[in-house]
Amino acid sequence: ETTYMETYIGIGILGVFFTVFAVAIVAGRRHAKAMKKFSGTIGFSYMPHADDDEKFLRQFNRLPLFSRGRNRDVWNVMTGKVLDFGVTIMEFRYSNNDASTHSTRSTSTQTVVILESGRLNIPLFSLAPHNNKDELGKKVFSALAPHFAKQLIPDDIDFDSYPLFSKFYLLKGSRKNEEVVRKFFNSNVIEYYENHKGLCTDGAGKAIMCYELDKVLNPEDISSFLNQTIKVCEMFQRAGGSTPTL
């Protein structure tokens, strides 16, 4: 009797698993179809999958998000132009395997919006919410090997005048450009992010990217998020002025 019960339980678990898997496949196909239709309504080209994910991502390799984790995948890629910006919108997933990732999940999937323009002159930086688990790991590593930690882990750029921003966000630049990044993050920029907690941004040279960690946008939400990304981009342009970047 026990054997029969265990068999029934096992069959039930498998049935639930396959049902969830089938529902996920159907939902994914429905979402992809909606994304393709949306791309046409805004005059963008659409690509369901990149032939080679890593090769496709190399064009954006200076943006820090795309160096996080492993097993990186991109799909539902839309490209076009808005104003004088080249725009790429896509869904990006990576597996978490080190302290460079900020998600609390085993995999992280998000819709990202990338703007590119010859008018941009953005310093290399990454802005995302703090992850307490990652921060604890870094503190332990710094305590055990302070010399190596200093070389391998760039310092978080904090602002004494904005403790709430510094508590919520992890802002990083390169080893050489902290002062330049600080100039870009003026009071207007910091206050904007304080009012839009959860908005993540990467910048590098001629490109800037916005996303919300672990959030995949529905087609009806993309236009407003694209407009927000353009607003962020223009905000950084005003903040940077003629500031040289690194």
pLDDT of residue 21: 39
Residue 135 has pLDDT above 90, yes or no: no
Share of the chain above pLDDT 70, in %: 73
Q: What is the pLDDT of residue 29?
A: 77
pLDDT on residue 32: 85
pLDDT number for residue 141: 38
Indicate the range of 7-11, 47-51, 169-173, 192-196 predicted with least confidence: 7-11
For residues 133 and 159, give the distance between their C-alpha atoms in angstroms, rounded to a whole number.
22
The mean pLDDT value for 175-200 works out to 95
pLDDT number for residue 152: 42
140 pLDDT more than 60: no
What mean pLDDT comes out for the span 151-166? 81
Is 225's pLDDT higher than 90? yes
